[in-house]
Amino acid sequence: MSTEGKKVVGHYIGGQSVMGISGREGGVYNPATNELIRNVALADAAEVDKAVSNAAEAFHDWAEMPSARRVQVLYRYRELLIQNIDEMARLLSSEHGKTVDDAKGSITRGLEVVEFACGIPQLLKGEFSESVASGVDSWSMRQPLGVVAGITPFNFPAMVPMWMFPVAIACGNTFVLKPSERNPSCAAFMANLLTEAGLPDGVLNVVNGDKEAVDSLLSHPSVQAVSFVGSTAVGEYVYQTGCAHGKRVQALCGAKNHMVVMPDADMGQVVDAVMGAAYGSAGERCMAISVVVAVGEDTADRMMEQLVPRIETLKVGAYDQAGVEMGPVITPDARDRIKNYIDRGVKEGADLVVDGRNISIPGYESGCFVGATVFDRVKPEMAIYRDEIFGPVLSVVRAESYEAALKLVNDHEYGNGTAIFTRDGDAARDFGHRAQIGMVGVNVPIPVPLAFHSFGGWKRSLFGDHFMHGPEGVRFYTRMKTLTSRWPSGIKEGAVFNFKAGGEH
């Protein structure tokens, strides 16, 4: 397809949009039609260096600005986000494919982190100890790192960047964002809003690109820390490479989230929860429920009896079609990979109860659609159970007991999120205590913490020591300094203290 006349999404460096100079571009497609809608400049090492250099130049003045003044920019940015949320959601949906309501919901979750970051001055307070020794005082403070970078995924092109840069810049750092090249427009949109809100030039820079841009950020000597969200394979590479270059790294990675359904669970609540958690955003999210573990045959039978009709009537289509509940996946490659997993599940002996492989949307026959799919009687050795499919495919496993269900949760290599549905307080408390998972829900299918708590998984779902946003985010984007001082105590009677006029001191 010809790319002539297509708008090119450039970079955002030093407070303004700049066109790429590398000579390389990528295509940005509407997943519902698979049509090219714009191009994106792909940065080389020189363009990454320009962005980092701008951030480094802006760092001193920004870090020295009182934190109360820094957050005033974020207050204004919050208002601009609210005013422009409809436009931003439609832009997001056109490049990602998710419904507009889903897009708005994700922007709102990002907005919550902006609101949290507006209260950063409270969290930057240090501790003070008087007279730790004779005439000696000791106190601590948290100071920004310098230039920090964020590498973000395609599935939440607004929310995940807002999990990073508001906290980072509120703490006094400057930031270089490398969004997914599949849907880059939200990053440019947010950068423009921040400039309109009064953010000084260079405090937030955006470079679009592929592995070349990522490697340049990971190896750049001026980048002090890197935040990443994406697949486990890439996240492990980012973590190892960044650490090898002396950087602080947090890499939030893949997942295979289990929802345990106990015999006493409210089955109507369970089915509602599964529909949203398994098929929302076409399953392309690291907190999606992709495995339901039903405890007991009767529990599984009752659940499937109510769940299957709901799945069969789920309306799939383009984001701009009325009444659509689930959109396409991101690319033809993703569509084909998901279908191959369904093929493999059938081959390995799982019961394919609802098959989403042959879905066709009138008028959108070239789109990247996969229908909602559910397998029953899935076994732990099957690929559809082991692997993160990242699509609208649900596996139902039948466990003989609560202990067998808990063992499935704990034995899996991923440890991002999990949930239990039950009316039994003992079971709920035991599950919360013993589940080897970073985020646990009780009758809550997607237990993403609110912004004033922190988000992160265990095991191969996280590389690094810090969760994202909340108090952990503040710790990640700052370093502790402790001061110990002794002053000569030579005060004599009649000593004169000189202070400047007007109360300055």
| CATH (domain of 317) | 3.40.309.10
CATH number, domain of 236, equals: 3.40.605.10
The pLDDT tens digits for 365-388 are 999 999 999 999 999 999 999 999
To the nearest whole number, what is the mean pLDDT of the chain? 94
| Tokens 């020295």 belong to residue | 64
**Which candidate in 118, 171, 253, 286 is catalytic?**
286
What is the predicted pLDDT for the residue at 1?
35
Is 171 a catalytic site residue? Answer: no
pLDDT band at 490 (very low <50, low <70, confident <90, very high): low
Residue 284 is part of which domain span? 257-442
Is the residue at 455 inside a domain?
no
Domain identity same for 425 and 469:
no
Contact present, 10 and 17 (Cβ < 8 Å): yes
Q: Does residue 504 register a pLDDT over 50?
A: no
**Residues in CB range of 133: below 8 A, 6 or more apart:** 486
Domain identity same for 220 and 279:
no
> Distance between the two ends of the chain, CA-based, in angstroms?
68
H-helix or E-strand spanning residue 343: helix 332-347
For the ranges 240-254, 274-288, 479-493, which has the lowest average pLDDT?
A: 479-493
Is the residue at 498 inside a domain?
no
Domain identity same for 211 and 280:
no
* Residue 503, Ramachandran bin (φ over 0: left; ψ between -120 and 50: alpha; else beta): left
Domain identity same for 237 and 274:
no
| pLDDT (mean) for 467-474 | 94
Q: Does residue 500 register a pLDDT over 90?
A: no
Domain identity same for 343 and 430:
yes
Assign 53 to helix, strand or coil: helix
What is the predicted pLDDT for the residue at 6?
72
Domains held by the chain: number: 2
Q: Does residue 501 register a pLDDT over 60?
A: no
Contact present, 272 and 417 (Cβ < 8 Å): no
Domain identity same for 270 and 239:
no
Contact present, 227 and 149 (Cβ < 8 Å): yes
Domain identity same for 237 and 294:
no
pLDDT band at 491 (very low <50, low <70, confident <90, very high): low
Contact present, 14 and 201 (Cβ < 8 Å): yes
E runs forming strands in 88-186: 128-133, 136-144, 147-151, 174-178
**Residues in CB range of 166: below 8 A, 6 or more apart:** 74, 77, 113, 114, 116, 117
| Phi, psi for 106 (deg, rounded to 5) | -70, -35
What is d(CA 178, CA 160) in angstroms, rounded to the nearest whole number?
11
Is the residue at 43 inside a domain?
yes
Domain identity same for 402 and 476:
no
The pLDDT tens digits for 221-262 are 999 999 999 999 999 999 999 999 999 999 999 999 999 999
Is the residue at 416 inside a domain?
yes
Domain identity same for 299 and 174:
no
pLDDT band at 493 (very low <50, low <70, confident <90, very high): low
Q: Does residue 495 register a pLDDT over 80?
A: no
Is the residue at 147 inside a domain?
yes
E runs forming strands in 245-399: 248-252, 257-261, 289-295, 351-354, 373-376, 393-399
pLDDT band at 489 (very low <50, low <70, confident <90, very high): confident
Domain identity same for 171 and 270:
no
The CA distances from residue 37 to 91, 185, 356, 470, in Å, are 11, 11, 27, 36
CA 142 vs. chain centroid, Å, equals: 25
Is the residue at 170 inside a domain?
yes
What is the predicted pLDDT for the residue at 218?
98
Domain identity same for 85 and 170:
yes
What is d(CA 351, CA 346) in angstroms, rounded to the nearest whole number?
7
pTM: 0.93
**Residues in CB range of 259: below 8 A, 6 or more apart:** 273, 274, 277, 289, 291, 292, 293, 418, 419, 420, 421, 445
